[in-house]
C-alpha cells in the first residue's frame, strides 16, 4: 500500500500577492513593447524588477515543491506553495536584498530562504535535488527569456523590450552561477553537502553565515571578477544575447540616470 503526499487546497492556492507582482510584470512589459509609457526607462525598470521578483518566487517554490515530494510534508502549511514572497522565512534575504542588489549593482544576487525540515527527507540524491531545484529554475527562466534571441530571431521585437530582456537574462544567468558556487549558504553547497562526511560538515558549519560575504569579497578581486563575467558573457553569447543589448538594458533600467546616447534607436540601426 502506498501513501500519497497531499496538502490542503488553501496551502497550494496561488497568492494574490504573487498574482499582483505578475500583473505588474505583464502590464509593464506590454507598455515597454508598445511604447505606451512616456518614460520607456521607468517602464523597463518596473518590468525588470517585477520579473526578477517573479523569478525569485519561482526559485523558492521549486525548492519547496521538490522538498514536498521528497518527504517534507510540512511545506504546504508554511505557505511556500502559494508563491507568496511574504511567507518566506527571511523575506529580506529572499526578496528585498536581491532587488536592492539589482538596483545598485546590476547583478543577480541569489535569494533564499524557505525552511525545509531535512530530517524528513531520505536519500542524499533527494537532498541534492532540493538544493539544485532553485538554480535550475533560474536557468530555465533565463532560457525562456532568451528565446527571442536564439529561437525566433529579433525581427519585430521593439528595441527597448529587447534590451530589457537582455538585462533580465543577464540577471538570471548571474544568479544561477552565483548560487551554484559550492560555498555554505548557497545552493551549490547544498547540492554537495549530503555527500560530505559528518566531520567535514561540522568543520564547515561555523562559516556558513559568512559564505555569501566571502563569495563577494573574492569576486571583488580583479582576476576572479573578470573570469566570472567572462563566463556569464560566454553563456549569454551562446544564447544569442549580445553585450550591447545587456548594457543598454541596464542603462534603461536606471531611469534615474541620463540615458547613454549609444543606446538610442539611431545608434543601433542608423538614421
Q: Which residues are catalytic?
A: 60
CA–CA dist 25, 228 (Å, integer):
29
If we measure between CA atoms, which residue out of 104, 251, 132, 264 comes closest to residue 195? 132
Cell numbers for 193: 553537502
Question: In angstroms, what CA-CA distances link 257 with 83, 124, 223?
Answer: 33, 49, 29
> Helices in the chain by DSSP H: which ranges?
9-12, 16-34, 40-70, 91, 97-105, 124-150, 159-179, 187-192, 198-204, 211-219, 222-238, 243-253, 265-269
How big is the CA angle at 184 (ends 182 and 187), to the nearest 5 degrees? Answer: 60
CA–CA dist 183, 193 (Å, integer):
10
CA–CA dist 131, 117 (Å, integer):
13
If we measure between CA atoms, which residue out of 81, 47, 80, 259 comes closest to residue 171? 47
If we measure between CA atoms, which residue out of 25, 24, 43, 42 comes closest to residue 34? 43
CA–CA dist 226, 136 (Å, integer):
24
CA–CA dist 25, 50 (Å, integer):
5
CA–CA dist 128, 27 (Å, integer):
37
Amino acid at each position: 500500500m502506498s501513501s500519497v503526499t497531499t496538502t490542503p487546497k488553501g496551502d497550494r492556492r496561488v497568492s494574490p500577492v504573487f498574482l499582483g507582482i505578475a500583473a505588474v510584470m505583464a502590464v509593464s512589459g506590454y507598455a515597454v513593447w508598445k511604447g505606451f509609457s512616456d518614460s520607456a526607462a521607468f517602464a523597463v525598470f518596473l518590468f525588470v524588477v517585477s520579473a526578477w521578483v517573479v523569478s525569485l518566487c519561482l526559485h523558492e517554490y521549486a525548492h519547496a515543491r521538490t522538498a514536498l515530494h521528497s518527504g517534507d510534508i510540512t511545506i504546504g502549511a508554511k505557505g511556500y506553495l502559494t508563491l507568496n514572497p511574504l511567507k518566506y522565512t527571511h523575506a529580506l534575504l529572499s526578496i528585498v536584498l536581491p532587488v536592492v542588489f539589482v538596483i545598485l549593482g546590476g547583478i543577480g544576487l541569489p535569494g533564499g530562504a524557505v525552511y525545509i525540515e531535512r530530517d524528513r527527507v531520505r536519500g542524499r540524491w533527494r537532498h541534492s535535488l532540493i538544493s539544485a531545484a532553485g538554480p535550475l529554475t533560474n536557468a530555465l527562466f533565463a532560457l525562456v527569456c532568451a528565446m527571442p534571441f536564439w529561437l525566433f530571431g529579433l525581427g519585430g521585437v521593439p528595441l527597448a523590450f529587447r534590451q530589457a530582456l537582455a538585462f533580465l537574462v543577464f540577471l538570471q544567468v548571474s544568479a544561477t552561477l552565483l548560487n551554484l558556487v559550492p560555498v555554505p549558504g548557497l545552493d551549490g553547497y547544498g547540492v554537495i553537502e549530503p555527500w560530505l562526511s559528518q566531520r567535514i560538515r561540522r568543520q564547515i558549519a561555523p562559516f556558513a553565515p559568512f559564505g555569501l560575504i566571502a563569495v563577494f569579497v573574492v569576486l571583488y578581486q580583479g582576476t576572479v571578477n573578470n573570469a566570472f563575467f567572462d563566463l556569464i558573457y560566454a553563456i549569454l553569447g551562446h544564447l544569442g544575447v549580445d553585450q550591447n543589448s545587456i548594457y543598454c538594458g541596464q542603462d534603461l533600467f536606471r531611469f534615474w540616470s541620463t540615458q547613454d546616447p549609444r543606446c538610442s534607436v539611431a545608434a543601433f540601426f542608423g538614421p
